[in-house]
Amino acid sequence: MTADEEDEMEDPDGEADPEGEPFSFTAAEADRGERLDKLLACGLDGLSRTRIRSLIDQGRVSSLGRTIADPSLRVKPGQTFDVLVPEPEPALPVPQEIPLAVVYEDDDLLVIDKPAGMVVHPAAGNADGTLVNALLWHCGDRLSGIGGVRRPGIVHRLDKETSGLMVVAKNDLAHGGLAAQFADRSLSRTYHAVVAGVPSPARGEITGDIGRSPADRKKMAVVSGGKPALTRYRVLKAFGTWASLVECTLATGRTHQIRVHMTHVGHPLIGDPVYGVRKTGIKGASKGIGPGAASAKARGLPEPVRDAVVALGRQALHAVALRFNHPRDARPMQFESELPLDIQRLIGSLESI
């Protein structure tokens, strides 16, 4: 599998890779002219020079918010370097008897309707109780990539609090075939989101390279030098001028793509605890509504709407449709999922405005 194919296997609202605590190191006068990789290996306990070079290659070393790409950089006194070391890989997941909403299943793959609140694969802070743990119980050793540590059978991801359809491979043939469709963008994923405000025009495209936010490495953002991303959207229904139901179809699949792109154009997802509670930085952009009661109240919303926003407790985002060709015989496969009750209740409250 090529690097580009791996990129396309990212999900627009997938969980960002686990991040550890950043380490900082400031070069002294005696360090003038020293190679960066050698300096950091000597200055940071437990990190070898090889490990430092790997972290630099991964874009995890920065200075004054700018990513450092050259391990042979000659440092200057007073320069401060931030090194972000990811959390260790979790141990091999164990099977757990967790109910799954299976929409379709055959010998090669299964399609599941993931509920909000379920993490896709084990990571720091979520060692078990994940979709992978459930799949290991449901499918046993039939899952593709069973020898892998993090994502056996997982071809793409959804964020913990994003609900909806996912396809899972049971064998290498299915995994390779589905991955190829992600890479050539023939696999189609459609989402419904409830966003603040009403996008104008009512149908369009959002572009903007997506990468780590220079202000907060745990968030994604539209940044120069990020990975190209394209989201097509159309407004399905407007609730006055305060909110709207929007359909998003993906031409690319970047981490948190829909959430980042909608925030970028001034229409963050209602309930989004990461991207929906701050101003976007764009003139005239909507502020958005996070999960808190105070945030909802600040917008002067009727009480039923405030209650629905608070009860939602997550971003209003659901993967409603999934279309691909079966990797064994190329027959068209299409699946749809109804909006879950929490988003239906939110929409019902908005219709009362």
pLDDT per residue as tens digits for the range 97-109: 999 999 999 999 9
Round to whole Å and give the CA distance between 118 and 128: 10
Pairing of strands 66-67, 80-84: unpaired
What DSSP designation does 141 have?
Answer: G
240: its two tokens: 């006055």
The whole-chain average pLDDT of the chain stands at: 83
Helices 49-57 and 36-43 cross at an angle (nearest 10°) of: 120
Nearest to 289 by CA among 182, 163, 209, 196: 196
Q: How many helices (H) and strands (E) does the chain have?
A: 9, 15
Q: Considering the chain, what percentage of its residues have pLDDT values greater than 90? A: 49
Q: How far apart are the first and last CA of the chain?
A: 50
281 contacts: CB under 8 Å, gap ≥ 6 = none
Catalytically active residues, by annotation: 159
Of the candidate ranges 14-28, 131-145, 158-172, 337-351, the one whose mean pLDDT is the lowest: 14-28
pLDDT of residue 266: 94
In this model, does residue 86 exceed pLDDT 80? no
Q: What is the pTM of this model?
A: 0.73
Cβ-contact 134, 144 below 8 angstroms: no
Cβ-contact 124, 182 below 8 angstroms: no
Q: Which whole number is the average pLDDT over 136-152?
A: 67
In this model, does residue 291 exceed pLDDT 80? no
pLDDT of residue 304: 76
- pLDDT tens for each residue of 209-234: 998 888 877 789 999 888 999 999 99
pLDDT of residue 171: 86
Round to whole Å and give the CA distance between 222 and 258: 11
45: its two tokens: 């306990």
- pLDDT tens for each residue of 32-74: 999 999 988 888 766 778 888 888 988 889 998 889 989 999 9
Q: Considering the chain, what percentage of its residues have pLDDT values greater than 70? A: 81
In this model, does residue 129 exceed pLDDT 60? yes
Look-up of token digits 């309930």: 271
Cβ-contact 273, 263 below 8 angstroms: no
CB neighbours of residue 113 within 10 Å: 19
Task: Check residues 50 and 326 and name the one with the higher pLDDT.
Answer: 326
pLDDT of residue 127: 77
Is there a cis peptide before residue 201, judged by omega within 30 degrees of 0? yes
Q: Which whole number is the average pLDDT over 125-133?
A: 85
State whether the Cα torsion 212-272-236-103 is positive or negative. Answer: positive
- What per-residue string of b and e applies to 289-321 under the rule 16 or more CB within 10 Å gives b? bbbeeebbeebebeeebbbbbbebebbbbbbbb
Give the pLDDT band of residue 177 (cuts 50, 70, 90). Answer: very high
Round to whole Å and give the CA distance between 51 and 58: 11
pLDDT of residue 101: 97
What DSSP designation does 148 have?
Answer: -
In this model, does residue 18 exceed pLDDT 60? no
Task: Check residues 350 and 85 and name the one with the higher pLDDT.
Answer: 350
Nearest to 18 by CA among 115, 122, 116: 122
pLDDT of residue 226: 87
